[in-house]
Amino acid sequence: SSHFCDQLLRPSLAQPRSWRLGWAAMGAPRTFAVALLAVFALRPAAAEMYCGDANCYEVLGLERVSADAAAVKKAYRKLSLQWHPDKNPENREEATAKFQLIASAYEVLSDEGVKAAYDYFLDHPEEHMYNKMRYYQAVYQPKTPLWAVLVGLTLVISIGQYYHWRERAKSFMQSPALVKLIEDEYLANCKGGRHGYQTGELTAARKEEIKEAFLERLRHDPECPLSFPKWSNTIVPTLVFHAPVAAFKWAKWRITNHSDIQAEKAKEAEEKRQAEEEERQEQEEKHRAAVEKDEKRARNAALLAERKRKEEEKRQRWAEEAAQEEAERQAESAAGQTVEGKIVSVEELRKKGNFLVQVSYGKDGQERVQLVVDREVKVGQGAKVALEGATLPDGKVAKRTKVAGEWSEGVLLSLGSAPAVASVEETEPADAAAPEEELATAGDGDGESKARQRKKKKG
């Protein structure tokens, strides 16, 4: 069961001492390989390459143009026989050095890769680092075929995988948690529970049977370490068998379900197109809403500006009209403080020597002012009156006053000439006009009553 393995994998991470010692033993060859590579990489710069200071072609007595493989081999055989140390016993040291130089020249010129690097070295002696790189690449490059290297590496990895998984399985089998789980499996198979287990209900054979069944279940769990130690799980069977079989099954499934796959792709493409169309429409709707919002905002701003402009014009017009009215009022007030008119009615008051007079002025005599005077006046006589607030000749201001129980709304400044007395010949027309005078008198009475009402209101 996978949950058993989840519980047991944690303690199995602590590998046993034998596994650690195996890796420690493998560390020595690795250290030696690294040291060997360091020796080759850090060789002294002054180390001789190819034939040292000598020319390999000259050592073999060849011309560079005509030094093909056959000529190199022929020259080497001839010179090696000539300078072999056994054939020069009297001058062995010089013959040995010469023989080694001939062998080095042959090694250089017999290998096409090394020969090409050497020719480049002769043509470009100033490129020191590049020539060294080409020399070591040509001389020390692996001679083993690539496929053999890959096969060997794959086998080594497979062996390492197998032993690693086997060590993990051993550690898994030795973990205390697995022992506890096996004991729980024993208890689960006891009819008497723990008491039956302690009293020996299970025989040794039965325990072994339960244990093997439990371990067999774990071996079939792909997540459990017990299922790993198999050669079929290593990289070689995977590359040779499992991967091709899986690829064949996948290709067969693709061919068998080609129509369904194409239908699914078409469905996904249609869903993608619809989603893109919906997104495009949504973007267009947002753009349209934004444009309408901006246009509405612009219209509102224009209306607001127009409204403010009209209100400003209205306020300016009102201010101008108010100023004009104020100027007219002040002009009328300044001009209307002293008026001229005619006396339309005279009434003697109870206080002797005082008369209640009404003077009509303005356009068509529609305006009336009531005065109380202390001298005798006549109807139709012209009069100049200073209204309330007017400045009198003596510098005083005319005020509304109450005299003999009546309000005087101004001050009589002067009187005009009295009207002429009618002649005898005019008596009859005057008599004929009596009804008209009565009507006029009635009209005067109305004016008088209006003056009295205004006086009472002011009082």
Q: What is the pLDDT of residues 29-53, one digit of tens each?
A: 444 444 444 444 444 443 478 998 8
Q: What is the pLDDT of residues 54-81, one digit of tens each?
A: 999 999 999 998 889 999 999 999 999 9
Straight-line distance from the first to the last Cα atom of the chain, in angstroms, rounded to the nearest whole number: 119
Confidence at residue 310, expressed as pLDDT on a 0 to 100 scale: 93
Give the closest residue to 409 by CA, choosing from 417, 421, 418, 400: 400
Reported as a single tens digit per residue, the pLDDT across 229-248 is 887 888 888 888 888 999 99
From CA 172, how far away is CA 12, in angstroms rounded?
A: 6
Share of the chain above pLDDT 90, in %: 31
Measured CA to CA in angstroms, residue 239 lies from 162, 164, 165, 201, 233 at distances of: 15, 19, 18, 50, 10
pLDDT tens string 114-142 = 999 999 999 999 999 999 998 988 887 76
Dihedral over Cα of 235, 237, 243, 246: its sign: negative
Residue 436 has pLDDT above 60, yes or no: no
Nearest-angstrom CA–CA distance, 230 and 222: 12
The pTM is what? 0.33
CA dihedral for 61, 62, 64, 65, sign (positive or negative): positive
Q: Are the CB atoms for 108 and 115 separated by under 8 Å? A: yes
Residues 4 and 181 sit within 8 Å (Cβ to Cβ): yes
Given this model, what pLDDT does residue 426 score? 43
Residues 312-364: pLDDT tens digits?
999 999 999 888 887 776 665 555 578 888 888 988 888 888 888 888 987 77
Choose among 347, 412, 406, 423: nearest CA to 382. 412
Rounded-to-integer distance, Cα 215 and Cα 245, Å: 29
pLDDT higher for 102 or 339?
A: 102
Task: Tell me if 5 sits within 8 A of 218, measured CB to CB.
Answer: yes
Q: How many CA atoms lie within 13 A of 53 on its CB side?
A: 1
Length of the chain: 459
- Rounded distance between C-alpha atoms, residue 446 and residue 368, angstroms: 11
Q: Quote the pLDDT of residue 5.
A: 55
Confidence category of residue 12, pLDDT binned at 50, 70, 90: very low
Higher pLDDT, 287 or 139: 287
User: In whole angstroms, how far apart are CA 173 and each of 181, 255, 290?
Assistant: 11, 45, 71
Q: Is the pLDDT of residue 186 over 50?
A: yes
Strands annotated E in 259-325: none
Lowest mean pLDDT among 143-147, 186-190, 246-250: 143-147
